[in-house]
Structure 1
Amino acid sequence: MKLLPAEKQTEFAYQRAVKEIVSKNGWDLEALSHEAPTLVVFLRHFNCIYCRESLAELKRLRRPIEAEGVQIAAVHMGTDRQAEELLSFFDLSDIESFSDPERRLYNAFGLERTTLGQLLGPASWLGMVRAGIRSRSLPGKRLKGIVGDVLQMPGVFLLSEGRIVGDFKPPRVDKQPEYLELAAMEC
């Protein structure tokens, strides 16, 4: 059996993952991105303060993002029920969400894992304070335990017609994208 070069293997993994992993409503990312450009937000874990900051920002920017003709989708490692519970805190329970506990989509989109040293560094602590303020930390609104992978890096991608037309892969977990800039990209 002849092995494919690494680039072809990555492309093949991407093509399979975006078609095989389906949302709570039966959509796959390939089909969803053919309906409308789709801002795909990859979450780390459900008790992640940075993910909550991202969701609070998406709630705030949802109308301008959708005014660009772009829909929002979330990828997570929890169950559909757990995701719906978290997304409802931010009035986002109606967006498409994709449960990916094996992290196939994360890998297909090239999202790596961070190190414990980077996660616990001084910049990360400052980011936690900022994220707590911006997300208002939702006192009393926590899921039990860690749902996901604390070392998984997040990311945001704009998909159109099955292709990645824009992305944000942060160098650290505390960095946030410019959601409106991504949503306004030419598709």
Structure 2
Amino acid sequence: MALKMLPMPQSDYLTALDQMKTNSGDSVKEVSYKQPVLLVFLRHFGCTFCREALKDLADRIEEINRLGAKLVLVHMSDMKTAEEYFGKYKLTGVANVMDPNCLYYQAFGLTKGTARQLFGLHSWIRGFQAGVIDGHGVGTKQLGDGFQMPGVFVLQQGKILNKFVHKMAGDRPAYVDLLAGCCKVKA
């Protein structure tokens, strides 16, 4: 079933939060009133850096949970494809939001990448490291908007407390560090 999403002005994340529903039907905004949300906007699943991000998040999911935060992934694909990738990276059942038209990406101020951000020397070097050396593969299939840049936001009570907006497609956020200051270790 296709979701009907209304166009939103860029950087209007409050409107986006009112509309964002996870795969289980939970409102991202309402979840943010119950616990901090680590909202990760992914690149397309065919991207080496997207697969690297999924591995990084899987490696840190226990720590994210221990801090009391809820991981929510935003992707551009259909739910079946997303679940296949989440399963491959041991993130089965993770809360996620489908955004094939990148309206939520835009509402949070995430832009389309420039040639330098996507294909510059930094991306080639990082792509070789992530794709070949670390084994995340080289993107052959585009499963979403290949120009869309990713980003990470920490939300609490409907507000952005912290964020990491990628300057280059291959930037690697310190996910757990972004939660510092809003989350406390659960006993």
State how many pairs are aligned.
Answer: 175
Q: Kindly provide the CA deviation profile for residues 91-146 of structure 1, in whole angstroms up to 9, marking residues without a partner as x.
A: 1121111001121110111001112343221111001022225753269xx8x841
TM-score, normalization by structure 2: 0.86
In structure 2, what is the Cα distance between the partners aligned to 1:123 and 1:130? 11
Give the residue type in structure 2 aligned to 1:33: S
Match of 2:174 in 1: 178
1:71 has 2:52 as partner = no
Match of 1:130 in 2: 129
> 1:24–1:134: structure 2 CA closer, same or farther, 3 Å change rule?
farther
Q: Unpaired runs of 5+ in structure 1? A: 1-8
**Secondary structure of the residue that 1:81 maps to in structure 2?**
helix
**Secondary structure of the residue that 2:80 maps to in structure 1?**
helix
Q: Which moved more, 1:49-58 or 1:108-117?
A: 108-117
**Runs of 4+, deviation exceeding 3 Å:** none
Q: Determine if contact 1:74/1:98 at 8 Å carries over to the other structure.
A: yes
Q: Determine if contact 1:30/1:161 at 8 Å carries over to the other structure.
A: yes
Q: CA deviation at 1:186?
A: 2.4
Match of 1:114 in 2: 113
Q: How does 1:1-187 map to 2 (within 5 A)?
A: 13-132=12-131, 136-137=135-136, 145-186=141-182
Q: Determine if contact 1:52/1:135 at 8 Å carries over to the other structure.
A: no
In structure 2, what is the Cα distance between the partners aligned to 1:135 and 1:26? 35
> 1:67–1:133: structure 2 CA closer, same or farther, 3 Å change rule?
farther
Q: Unpaired runs of 5+ in structure 2? A: 1-8
> 1:106–1:120: structure 2 CA closer, same or farther, 3 Å change rule?
same
Q: Over aligned residues, Cα RMSD in angstroms?
A: 2.0
TM-score, normalization by structure 1: 0.86
Q: Percent identity at matched positions?
A: 34
Higher helix share: 1
Q: Determine if contact 1:49/1:132 at 8 Å carries over to the other structure.
A: yes
